[in-house]
Amino acid sequence: MEFINQYWPLLAPLILIQLSLMIYCLIDLSRRERVKGPKWLWAIFIIFGELIGPVVYLIAGRGE
């Protein structure tokens, strides 16, 4: 427990950035008509891909 209390000020911004990016990508995915690949697969990748999943979606997944 002491470990969490000690490093919480460093971890909180990273957790907030990760969650914000994941939520943004999931909203973007739901609003797009076309993406590269099935939407359900991108949603799983965004949710379980930690920080890499949303970044890969933004770079390669959007059908622009």
* Overall pTM surpassing 0.85 (yes/no): no
For the chain, how far is it from start to end, CA to CA, in angstroms? 46
Q: What is the pLDDT of residue 31?
A: 94
Distances in Å between the alpha carbon of 54 and those of 13, 18, 41, 48, 63?
17, 9, 12, 9, 15
In the predicted structure, residue 64 carries a pLDDT above the cut 80: no
- Half-sphere exposure for 7 (CA within 13 Å, toward CB): 6
Instruction: Specify the higher pLDDT residue, 54 or 5.
Output: 54
Query: Where residue 5 falls among pLDDT bands split at 50, 70, 90?
Result: confident
For the chain, the structural domain boundaries read 14-61
Buried b (16+ CB within 10 A) or exposed e, 50-60: eeebbeebeee
Q: What is the pLDDT of residues 6-59, one digit of tens each?
A: 888 888 999 999 999 999 999 999 999 999 989 999 999 999 988 899 989 989
